[in-house]
Amino acid sequence: MRLDKFLKVSRIIKRRTVAKEIADKGRIQVNDRVAKSSTDVSVGDTLTIGFGNKTLVVRVDELVDTTKKNDAESMYTILDQRTPAK
């Protein structure tokens, strides 16, 4: 599954276009490699996503094409969530 689609379906990022923009700016890594929006993700991959004020590290647990809001969280596990020290 494409990275941008996974981020949208899992509801980590609300819109696919936003996920594409973030990925194409180099702010997402898959298994410690900078990834583009078209990068394929697999079960077990680790995603590091740099938002403006925090960094989110998640592991891909499941890949599905569509999901309900309540089931979206089962697609990934949050491994780490960091905010910059002030």
Read off the pLDDT of residues 13-35 as tens digits, 9 standing for 90 and up.
999 999 999 999 999 999 999 99
Q: How many whole angstroms separate alpha carbon 39 and alpha carbon 84?
A: 27
> The domain that contains 73 carries what CATH number?
3.10.290.10
pLDDT attached to residue 86: 57
Number of domains in the chain: 1
**What residues of the chain score a pLDDT lower than 50?**
none
Q: How many whole angstroms separate alpha carbon 86 and alpha carbon 79?
A: 22
The answer to whether 78 touches 56, Cβ cutoff 8 Å, is yes
pLDDT attached to residue 30: 96
pLDDT attached to residue 71: 86
Q: How many whole angstroms separate alpha carbon 84 and alpha carbon 86?
A: 6
Domain that holds residue 22: 3-82
Q: How many whole angstroms separate alpha carbon 35 and alpha carbon 39?
A: 6
Predicted model pTM? 0.87
